Amino acid sequence: MKKGQLFGIILVSCIALLSGCIKTLPYVTTINPSLTASIGTYNFTSETVVPYTLDTQIHDSITTLIITGNTNDQTAHKDKIELRITKYKGVTGTWGIVRNEAKAYYLHSNMRSDATNGIVSITRVTANSLVGYFNFTTSDGIVVTNGNFTVGLPNAPY
């Protein structure tokens, strides 16, 4: 009988100890990454969107945020839009291409068109995502408007 009581006490103690270790964490919602834009009459919709950061190590540990959206559309196979924010600090803001705070390009039929003006803006930063918009005009006159993105956070410290 003493073994049964001892076992019961140990079991209750273990349950009490383990229940104190369990924390109620908020549920992490699944990010459904997207990047869309209008390019003339063509609606660009990415099939894959990848955010990442690049630590340039030039001076002051500058971090560049890069968001790449690739399409697999049958009419525009392997088209791509890439957005870059230089000196990204993990906060919301608007970065100008003319001021060299941001860069962008559109790749169509293996022809790269670099942006000469426009903006990249991050309107919301959550615990697990970045949300924003963009628009730009390229050196060869391609106008990219109504750009929007939602991506998970890149795996790098700010």
- Residue range 98-155, pLDDT digits in tens: 999 999 999 988 899 999 999 999 999 998 899 999 999 999 999 999 999 999 988 6
Please check the confidence at residue 46 and state whether its pLDDT lies above 50.
yes
Q: Quote the CA–CA distance of 53 and 66 in Å, as a whole number.
A: 6
Residue 26's pLDDT is 43
Q: Quote the CA–CA distance of 68 and 90 in Å, as a whole number.
A: 17
Tokens of residue 11, six digits: 């079991």
Residue 132's pLDDT is 96
Tell me the pTM: 0.75
Tokens of residue 150, six digits: 């939602």
